[in-house]
Amino acid sequence: MTPNFTNELLVLLDGLGRTLLVSGIGITLGMALGMLMGAARHARIPVLSQLIACYANLFRCTPLLVQVVMLYFALPDLGVKLSPFETSWLALGLWGAAYHTEIFRAGFGAVNPNEVLAARALGMSAPRAFLDITVPLGARAAIPAATTMAITQFRSSSFMIAVGYQELTYVANRMVADTFKVFQVFGIAALAYLIVSNVIAMASRRLEKAVAVPGLGAVK
């Protein structure tokens, strides 16, 4: 029983490793895209801004699971063949980017316009003022919401079971089907998701404190 149990734990840990890998790439991609698209939305660049709004609405109003399945099973018909791994991080990234776009747009919008006016009065060009004033302050304001979304992306990596990527939910589901240890296996998987979510939340609160600008109202 005991060596068997150790073996099963190792299999679950292996799955957790893949979950962390695709989540890590997906979150990074989603935040990077979201920041760029949020900046374009904030700057109200004509046409591009509207296209990004359409993108965000389309990805937020359709299930991630359908997007995942579509990337994996429909794209080959258009000549793009992705592996389960590539599908997983790409789907998480593209889906997350839609939410991060709105989060960063709101963050940039929360920056006091007087700060930007002051920068412009000191002779900064508009792009310079955006990069040096709006982005650093707006990104700070966006930390809590972006963290919540990052955790949601991490949890949603479980949907990659649909394309057979062997992440934590996939291996747990497989193990339960084989061993019928419903409570133990899903209990451990649930605990792993809870622990990682809380670690991300804690790290984010530390980051928020570490980068807080003293005396600036926007960041608590």
Residues lying near other proteins in the complex (CB under 8 A): 57-58, 60-67, 69-70, 73-74, 76-78, 155-156, 158-159, 161-162, 169, 172-173, 176-177, 180, 182-183, 186, 189-190, 193-194, 197-198
DSSP 8-state secondary structure symbol assigned to residue 13 = H
Angle at 108 between CA 105 and CA 113, to 5 degrees: 135
**32 vs 199 by CB, closer to other proteins:** 199
Q: Are 71 and 91 in contact (CB under 8 A)?
A: yes
Angle at 165 between CA 160 and CA 170, to 5 degrees: 75
Rounded CA-CA distance 68/59 in Å is: 11
Hey, is 43 helix, strand or coil?
coil
Rounded CA-CA distance 86/104 in Å is: 26
Task: State phi, psi for 17 to the nearest 5 degrees.
Answer: -60, -45
17 token code pair: 């490793």
